[in-house]
Amino acid sequence: MTDKIDVLISEDEVGLRIGQIAEKINDDYKGKSLYIISILKGAVFFTVELARRLTVPVYMDFMQVSSYGDSQVSSGSIKIKKDTDGDIEGKDVLIIEDIIDTGYTLKYLKDYLLKRNPASLKLCALLDKPERRETEIDMDYTGFSIPDKFVVGYGLDYAQKYRNLPYIGVVELKED
Ligand code: IMP
Ligand code: MG
């Protein structure tokens, strides 16, 4: 089986947009330092490209989460597979995700991390599928709003494939 992938957002467009987000963050955090928590594995490509463009001092940390059971039904329950290495108390924290879909993952992480008393906590995602939202959540930085289609590339996977594509594409499943 080969999957057909149509380009939704080109490599150049993604790069340009990440540059704009970085400028905004540099501005918003002027005079402060930033504690980034990147969500493995999908957000890694975005995090690296963003972090390279940040001029404020950055500390990088990672978390990994997974949805319990059948994600179509029970996407509300999230399991922490890897927690932060550092202590975020009193820090200006920015969570970086690949995509916000139902919103359950970021909502859970936000509530979970707020209990540790960071000085501030903001949310950033490269992609947003607003039509799919099931829980109310305010994003601080988003790259692109996209239609309700399954996308891959730039860190996003389909069954662990295609994370390394340098653009965002839509997968069309095709039988040979
Ligand atoms: P949420 O909790 O429903 O917002 O889910 C966010 C997570 O679902 C992301 O971190 C992705 O791992 C995954 N996800 C949602 N939509 C897509 C997609 O179109 N392609 C790949 N992964 C996706
Ligand atoms: Mg993910």
Give the pLDDT confidence score for residue 133 in this predicted structure.
Answer: 95
Q: Name the residue at shortest CA distance from atom 16 of ligand 1.
A: 101
Local structure of 20: helix, strand or coil: helix
In the chain (176 residues long), the average pLDDT of successive 10-residue segments reads 90 98 98 98 98 98 82 66 98 98 95 98 98 95 97 96 97 71
Give the pLDDT confidence score for residue 176 in this predicted structure.
Answer: 55
Q: Who surrounds ion ligand 2 at CB < 5 A?
A: 42
Catalytic residue among 92, 98, 101, 128: 101
Sheet with strand 120-128: strands edge to edge = 78-82, 58-67, 34-40, 92-100, 120-128, 141-145
Q: Which atom of ligand 1 is nearest to the CA of 108?
A: 2
Q: Write the CA distances from 15 to 22, 129, 135, 175, integer angstroms.
A: 11, 19, 29, 33
**pLDDT (tens digit per residue) in 94-110:** 999 999 999 999 999 99
Centre of ligand 1 to C-alpha 101, Å, is 5
Give the pLDDT confidence score for residue 71 in this predicted structure.
Answer: 47
